[in-house]
Each structure stands twice: as C-alpha cells, then as structure tokens.
Amino acid sequence: MSRRIRLWIEFAIERLLFVCAATSILVTAGIIAVLVFETYEFLREVPVREFLFGTVWTPLFADAHFGVAPLVGGTLLVSAIAMAVALPAGLITAIYLSEYAPSGVRRVVKPVLELLAGVPTVVYGYFALLFVTPLLQRVVPGLAGFNALSPGIVMGIMILPLVSSLSEDALHAVPTGLREGAYALGATRMQTALRVVVPAAFSGISAACILAASRAIGETMIVAIAAGQQPRLTLDPRVPVETMTAYIVQVSLGDTPSGTLAYRTIFAVGMLLFVSTFILNLISNWLRERFREEYA
C-alpha cells in the first residue's frame, strides 16, 4: 500500500469513529426533540398551569382532567419509601465494607450485592406483589393488595447496591493518612469512620444518593406491577397509587389511539420525568467531579 492511500484510510477511520461518538449527541437530541414536540402539541390543548398544578388526573375518562400532581405525588411517595430503605442500609453497608470488613469479605460481598442490581425489575415486581405485599398484610392493618409501601421497600432493596457500591468507592478513595491521623489521636474505628472518613467523602456519598433518587423516580416495572393504577394524591402508603412511569405503561398497554390528546399525555409526563431525572443526574455528576478533584 502506498503511503498516501494509507494516510487516507487512517483519516477515513478517524472520521468514522468520530461519527459513532457523535451519535450519542443525536440520541440526546432525539429524546429532547420527541418529548418537546409531543409536549408542545399537548400543551396547546391543555394549559400548562392545569397540567402542573391541577390535582385531578383522569385523562382517559370522558370528563378529562390533566393535573399531574397525583402522579408526581405517587412517584415521590414510592421513591421516598425506597430511599428510606436504601440510604441507611446502603450507607451502613458501605461503611462496614470500607472501614471494618476484612478485604476477603469485601471481595466476596461486593459483587454478590451487585447481583441485586442485575436482577430484572420485572422480577422485583413479582417479588413485591406476590411475596412482600402478602407478608406485610399480616403486620400492617388495612394494607391493600396494591399499595405504595411494598414496591417502595422492594425498590429500596434494588437501589441499595447502587448506594453502597458508589459510597464505598468514595469512602475507599479517602486518603489513609486521614484515618491514621484520627487513630493517632485515640479515636476508635467508629469515631474515625463517622467523624473523619464519612465527612471527607461527603460529596461522593451525596452523589451516590442523588443518583439513587434519580433511579427510584425513573423505575417502572416494580410500581407498574405492585403499586396499582389509581392516580391519587395521598401520603398513605397503604392504598394504591400510580407513578408517572406506571401511567406511561398503562397507556402503552391500552388501546388509546395515537395522535389523541390522551395519547400525548405520556410524552408530557415523560418530559417531566426526563427533566427531573436529568437535573438530579447533573447534580450527581457535578458532586462526583468535585469529589474527584478533592482527592486527585
């Protein structure tokens, strides 16, 4: 091969690789374009004020109301329960694995915990509906067959490895010198962990927690299976609720004709979901960058 042809091929390959990398920008652009287009069409018929601040969500009924608050409320309720399980358990697990556990235990437990994150969400849905709910019904009076509590707890188990794994990475990245300093001052392991290492890893740990919140908000199958499909603005975890994601599934499964206003609602709800998770992800990334710079 002559040198010129070879150089030309090298150039062509580099261009081709660049195009593949740039495709990822197109994916984001595609998501935004699809959501913005359909949401715009939706908001031409429904005032944005009714959508964001209305408290009744009945888009599929003859008497249609488009107040998204019940879906947002359902999402926040289930996510809050999930975080109440995943944050303490995940953090304690992370501190144990990073500061206490012998390295052998850590090497075995960490990947096994990550298996929890690899289980398909539809399996967790099954587990929530047919195992956890009946179990909880024995101890929680008035717990309905579909409720926010059971999928919330199961979702917490699902995102626990996310919290523990990322927090553990953050704790692990804290320089040993800080720990040795604390020990030298006579601190116990617990005092060192809670008062020195955890504060030092704080931005990394918060990044993990915010990412977990974003994951909880976007989680679909567990709630679609076990939380019911009744949009309801409530703080009672014992009754059926509907989340934003479960609503999108409900409409996708039904026979709502495309192009109708009821159909466009899933894109409007999707837009809200996308924007909220996107903001959380940006904050999480920013915190992680900051953490990395602190101990670079």
Partner 1 sequence: MRTRSGLMRRVGDLAFQALGIIVTLAALLALATLIYDVAHDGLGRISWQFLTSYPSRRPESAGILGPLVGSLFVIGLTAAIAVPAGVAAAIYLEEYARRTFVSRVIEINIANLAGVPSIIYGLLGLGLFVRAMGMGRSVLAGAATLALLVLPMVIISTREALRAVPPSLREGSYALGATRWQTMWHQVLPAALPGILTGLILALSRAMGETAPLITIGALTYVGFVPDGIWSPFTVLPIQIFNWVSRPQAAFAVNAAAGILVLLVLLLALNAVAIILRDRYQKRLA
Q: Which amino acid is at 263?
A: Y
- CB-nearer residue toward partner 1: 76 or 129: 129
**What is the C-alpha separation between 231 and 238, in angstroms, rounded?**
14
Q: Is 34 in the site for partner 1 (CB under 8 A)?
A: yes
Q: Is 191 in the site for partner 1 (CB under 8 A)?
A: yes
Taking CB under 8 A as the criterion, which residues in 259-278 touch partner 1? Answer: 266-267, 270, 273-274, 277-278
Say how many residues touch partner 1, by CB under 8 A.
86
The CA–CA distances, whole Å, from 105 to 6, 99, 211 equal 53, 12, 26
Residue among 231, 284, 287, 291 that touches partner 1 (CB under 8 A) = 284
Q: Which amino acid is at 154?
A: V
Q: Hey, which bits of 148-237 come out as E strands? A: none
- CB-nearer residue toward partner 1: 174 or 272: 272
CB 280 within 8 A of CB 217: yes
- CB-nearer residue toward partner 1: 46 or 272: 272
- Helix ranges, 219-260 (H): 221-226, 244-253
- CB-nearer residue toward partner 1: 141 or 257: 257
Distance of CA 29 to the CA centre of its chain: 21
- CB-nearer residue toward partner 1: 68 or 280: 280
Q: Is 84 in the site for partner 1 (CB under 8 A)?
A: no
Structure-token pair, residue 107: 């090497």
Residue among 181, 236, 282, 290 that touches partner 1 (CB under 8 A) = 282
User: Count of alpha carbons within 13 Å of 54, Cβ hemisphere only?
Assistant: 16
Q: Is 31 in the site for partner 1 (CB under 8 A)?
A: yes
CB 38 within 8 A of CB 268: yes
**What is the C-alpha separation between 243 and 41, in angstroms, rounded?**
23
Taking CB under 8 A as the criterion, which residues in 62-81 touch partner 1? Answer: none
- Closest approach, Cβ 159 to partner 1, in A, equals 11
Residue among 211, 227, 241, 287 that touches partner 1 (CB under 8 A) = 211
**What is the C-alpha separation between 230 and 241, in angstroms, rounded?**
5
Q: Is 55 in the site for partner 1 (CB under 8 A)?
A: no
Q: Single out the segment in contact with partner 1 by CB under 8 A; choices: 42-50, 55-63, 174-182, 189-197.
A: 189-197
Site pattern 118..157 for partner 1 (x: CB under 8 A): xxxxxxxxxx-xxx-------------------------x
- Closest approach, Cβ 18 to partner 1, in A, equals 5
**What is the C-alpha separation between 70 and 82, in angstroms, rounded?**
18
- Closest approach, Cβ 94 to partner 1, in A, equals 9
- Closest approach, Cβ 278 to partner 1, in A, equals 7
**What is the C-alpha separation between 253 and 41, in angstroms, rounded?**
22
Q: Is 28 in the site for partner 1 (CB under 8 A)?
A: yes
- Closest approach, Cβ 14 to partner 1, in A, equals 6
**What is the C-alpha separation between 243 and 224, in angstroms, rounded?**
8
Residue among 64, 96, 136, 137 that touches partner 1 (CB under 8 A) = 96
Collect all residues with Cβ–Cβ distance below 8 Å to 66 and sequence separation of at least 6: 46, 50, 51, 54, 57, 59, 265
